Amino acid sequence: MKFKLFYIAILTVFLVSTVCFLPKKVEAKQNHVKITFCCDEKTFVYDQSKVVFDKNFKTNSALQRRGFFDDCLAKAKIAKQVLQMGFDECVATQYVLVGIGEVIDDVCRFACKTQTDSTIVFNPNNDNPFEITKEKNGICVDKQKLCRMVLEKLEKTNNFSITVPTKQLTAVSQESNVAKTKLKATFETNCANSNQNRKDNIALALSKFNGMVVEAGQKVSFNQVVGKRTEENGYKSAKVILNGKYVDGIGGGVCQASTTLYNAILLSGLPVSEWHRHTLKSNYVSPSLDAMVNDNGADLVFVNDTNEKIYIKTKCDGNTAKVWIYGVENEFDFYTKSVVTKQTKAEQKTLVDENGEYSDKVFYVDESFCLQNGSDGVESVSYIIATKNGKTVWQKLLRKDVYAKTDKIVVVGARQRGETKTKADIKAQTDTICQA
């Protein structure tokens, strides 16, 4: 054990130090080793006779222990002892051939060519959103093999040539990057019948995700990405659902953006760790497939549980809101299924504008407008289904939900003109004018 520690100490001192150059120099010519390294028609020479050192007892003793003045067989024997102590070929070579490390470094600098990895450029606003560059492999010197060859030659002669061995540095390939940018899922919802403020809110919220790159293992919060729904942040007033009723509020329509993203995430096979339903059934997505969000804590959160990045592209053109998810190809094809288990029909109520509260819209008894669209009460469940080659592999329950009923409210004028209309006539007219 003491012997091994002694050699380790000696190796450490000499491998981290350089040969001292002093005015008085002596050339070591006895049993010197000369090696010519051949690399791409260029040669590099290590000549032990050219190594100089300061003449003192301490240096000479250290060099003697390293076999500096010995013949090639003695040097090879010392090198084997170094290897037996657990050091690699490069350490052993540099121990017995003082100064060879600098020559090998020169060879490596000349021969090595760094690899250039293929890169992925994500341009979400292009029809083809990915530009993937071609890779270029590199070359480096196989230092361990080179030193092993030196030690093998050293057992036979002290003057020899070696063709420098190299190995390929494999770059990340274009093919592998193409495999990381497959379309995993897409989903769209219709917003053609929304007013402009609501369309603008949907577009603004979705734009926050356009071009997003989600790292492997990263968790994404919809509210953190989209920010507070305020006028300062660019959101406008539109209808929102509050306590089971449609009311005007800043950011109306953002829930359609979150719902569109939610369904795209489900279809891409990524896990959703937080979601919330609306109190009323949405008209742009099937029951139990909506995702309500608000500034009071209701969030949509999903996780990239793949080993690669995922890429998100979004677009809202005034008619549809759409989300694309790209990444590694899914093992399965995913589908969602919504099933209504119970339904309670909404009623229609007629409100006569006796006080002229809505006189800008109705005045006469034969005039009417919808104050509030109705929505049936629904109990529903949803499933996520995985298929492969057209066959179902598994089906899992996503959620169970209950949506409240809200009645349709129709306002008619209070003033008569012409012949008097009956209540039945008024109801028949409002049925044709208002859409649920």
Confidence band of 24 (pLDDT split at 50, 70, 90) = very low
Cβ-proximal residues to 268 (8 Å cutoff; 6+ apart), any chain: 184, 185, 310, 325, 327, 330, 334
Nearest Cα neighbor of 170 from 115, 220, 119 is 115
**pLDDT number for residue 307:** 95
Confidence band of 272 (pLDDT split at 50, 70, 90) = very high
**pLDDT number for residue 123:** 97
Confidence band of 267 (pLDDT split at 50, 70, 90) = very high
Cβ-proximal residues to 61 (8 Å cutoff; 6+ apart), any chain: none
Q: Average pLDDT, stretch 26-50?
A: 83
- pLDDT tens for 359-409 read 888 888 888 888 888 888 999 999 999 999 999 999 999 999 999 998 888
**pLDDT number for residue 418:** 63
Query: Is residue 169 within 8 Å of residue 43, measured between CB atoms?
Result: no
Residue 331 tokens read as: 């093992």
Confidence band of 28 (pLDDT split at 50, 70, 90) = very low
Higher pLDDT, 26 or 126: 126
For residue 436, pLDDT over 80 is answered with: no
- Angstrom distance (rounded) from CA 76 to CA 153: 9
**pLDDT number for residue 7:** 52
Q: Average pLDDT, stretch 13-25?
A: 41
For residue 270, pLDDT over 90 is answered with: yes
Which sequence spans correspond to the domains of the chain? 2-115+140-166, 181-330, 333-436
Looking up tokens 């492997």 gives: 216
Phi then psi dihedrals of residue 267, to 5 deg: -70, -20
For residue 261, pLDDT over 70 is answered with: yes
- Angstrom distance (rounded) from CA 81 to CA 363: 108
Residue 114 DSSP SS3: coil
Cβ-proximal residues to 187 (8 Å cutoff; 6+ apart), any chain: 260, 263, 264, 267, 322, 323
**pLDDT number for residue 336:** 97
Phi then psi dihedrals of residue 166, to 5 deg: -125, 165
- What is the DSSP track for 141-163? E-HHHHHHHHHHHHTT-SEEEEE
Confidence band of 116 (pLDDT split at 50, 70, 90) = very high
For residue 346, pLDDT over 50 is answered with: yes
**pLDDT number for residue 16:** 46
DSSP H helices, 66-140, are 72-84, 89-96, 100-111
Q: Per mean pLDDT, which of 8-22, 239-253, 345-359 is the most reliable? A: 345-359
Q: Average pLDDT, stretch 64-82?
A: 91
**pLDDT number for residue 1:** 53
Indicate the pTM of the whole model.
0.76
Computed over every residue of the chain, the mean pLDDT equals: 87
Q: Average pLDDT, stretch 218-242?
A: 90
Residue 304 tokens read as: 């990239």
DSSP 255: H
- pLDDT tens for 177-214 read 999 999 999 999 999 999 999 999 999 999 999 999 99
User: How many of the other CB atoms lie within 10 Å of CB of 339?
Assistant: 13
Q: Alpha carbon of 145 to those of 151, 159, 257, 407: distances in Å?
A: 10, 19, 59, 83
| CATH class of segment(s) 333-436 | mainly beta
- Per DSSP bridges, beta strands 408-412 and 348-352 are parallel
